[in-house]
Structure 1
Amino acid sequence: MGHQRLGKLPTHRYLPDIVRYLVTGGAPTAPLVEQVTEVSRDALKHALRDPVFVEALWLLIRLPQAAASKDFGAALADIGIGARPPTSVTELMVAYNSALERVQRRVHAGATDLGDIAREAGAAALAEAVEAGMPMWSPTAADVQASVAALRSPEKFGALAHHFHANIVERVIHYYVDRTLHKLVGADRVARSVHDLATYNSAIRRHCIEAALIMRAFARDWLGKNQYRDGKDISRDGARRFSAFAVEKIGNELKNRKGPK
């Protein structure tokens, strides 16, 4: 990422165990997969103070609302994404990333690597959700808009928020671990084959998805209450407050799943 400001977070005793697994190979045990996520609990708390994290989540809330409006272009301009409706998922991702990069430049002094992680996590969650609602052959700009608009339903937003937060936890883990991989790959270092690393990555991904699953119902009910029952126009502060509760819930879930010390 060019700079390593996450390194200021507290050091966790599990990191040597992560590296040890990568060096020795073998199947990851359930306790290790649970313990390794401890590094993400503090990162999630720090993320709440990063304006890019808040913006990434807020755009995931407001983009579907914009796509459902009568004037998609004007609604996009209102939330800072530009006035040109995307004609493809790729254009949508470029617009989403560009909006977050502008926030990073504007608040450079307060930006952290967690902002980069949130931007990547949000883009990945959004792309996956939008592509799932697209026709397989020759999608049009109208298809893109309809697929984005569908995400305004509480149920689909619950899934989107779930994957956004799971992506952040996963990326924080890899932020620490992947910097050592170049030292570990080789016949005389890391185990048996690249398949071991794929197995490890898969276990981490599964664990993050499971740990953040609590978000799905919480996010669904939160959006249903605020947007549909109360008719609120959700602000960035509202998104921050929502995520503060989300971070607490996921943090507790990670703590419960950590395993014995």
Structure 2
Amino acid sequence: MMQQQSAIVRTYRRIERAIVPVLVLAGWEIFSRSGVLPPALLPAPSQVLRAWADWVFATDGNTQTYSGTWILDTLASAGRVFAGFAIAGALGVALGMAIGWSRSVEKLIEPVLQVLRPIPPVSWIPLAIIWFGIADKPAIFLVFLGAFFPILLSTIHGVKTCDRNLLRAGAMVGGSPGKLLRHIVFPAALPSIFSGLRIAIGSAWMLTVTAEMVAVKSGVGYVLWDSYYFLRYDLVIAAMASIGLLGYLSDFAIRLSMARVLHWQRGSTISGREG
């Protein structure tokens, strides 16, 4: 009896993540086929899947010019995301460490950053097009803007919340400011930095799609906007699902890196829970 119960529990744990998505898709399919709305306005999941399959594998040509172009569109968007994200990560961490560590740097730079931070990145689109033209650069610039501030603020928070007793102990054994930053402050700030990176990668995907709708003529966002003009809402939803999938995979990659880099934190967390 106990073995049967444990087998049921194991089976449930394997499928529990899929329960809600399956119910949502089933309800969506039933509602789309009920005729409450025209099928063209709310395509059923099966219709979206058919368009998505042709976009990826060129199965039957129903997406016309986009048939079989998903890989190229995805690579175009991913290149812009990771270029802007990498620049934002390098600059955000470096500047955040400096602001969190030095009061003089904080007084000098933070007022300007606090004025710029509330400005929505999308409001920079006209200037980005004027400065960089219709190409990859305005999209990379917008991605940078969207990713920079979450990384910056998370890094500042991580530095400022570093245990002061560790700093005192490091200074007592002759640690220079550079060594304290490198060996104590930066490792202590890493959990906050990774939290900022996870927030930033989601913003990066949102901003690159927005830029592709306006300032770029390729990528997943451009396919989404172009499909809207031609009333191909099945392809619009397929593009939305692609963005969600790519964002999830990007976040998953950051979580894998975080688990590898912060393996010491995972162990302490587990022991704390057990206690």
TM interval, shorter chain, is 0.3 to 0.5
Q: Which has the higher contact order (CA 8 A, sep 6+)?
A: 1
Structure 1 length as normaliser, TM-score? 0.42
Q: Whose radius of gyration is greater, 1 or 2?
A: 2
Larger helix share, 1 or 2: 2
Structure 2 length as normaliser, TM-score? 0.40
